[in-house]
Amino acid sequence: MALPNLSDADRQAALKKAAESRAKRAAVRAQIKSGAMSFADVMKKADDPIIARMKVSALLESLPGFGKAKSARIMSELEISESRRVQGLGARQRESLMERLGK
């Protein structure tokens, strides 16, 4: 697939927008890590575009006491692809995660 030809101004605007989105996702992960936001709170806001585009693995790794190994094990047990984003979770996967982590 060919990349679109963007003007310098359009390219700069896209880069700025992407940087802002990354910063917002990082802020959400920091809130989760600090305990200011629980897993259940995050799932309630799953329709927020910033949260919806977060990878589930990054979300789980942000939880206190979770690392790459523990989050990978849970995702494997619940049959969730490691590339899955929050918006792409099915109803069964969402319910399973809430049962396991929805504190």
Q: Does residue 11 form part of some domain? A: no
Task: Identify the domain containing residue 36 by its residue range.
Answer: 19-101
Give the CATH number of the domain where residue 83 resides. 1.10.8.50
Q: Does residue 4 form part of some domain? A: no
Q: Does residue 67 form part of some domain? A: yes
What's the number of domains the chain is made of?
1
Per-residue pLDDT tens listing for the chain (103 residues): 667 787 889 899 999 999 999 999 999 999 999 989 998 899 999 899 999 999 999 999 999 989 999 999 999 999 999 999 999 999 999 999 999 987 5
Cα torsion angle, 91, 81, 31, 66, sign: positive
Q: Does residue 62 form part of some domain? A: yes
- Judged by phi (left if over 0) then psi (alpha if -120 to 50, else beta), residue 62 lies in alpha
Task: Provide the pLDDT for residue 23.
Answer: 95
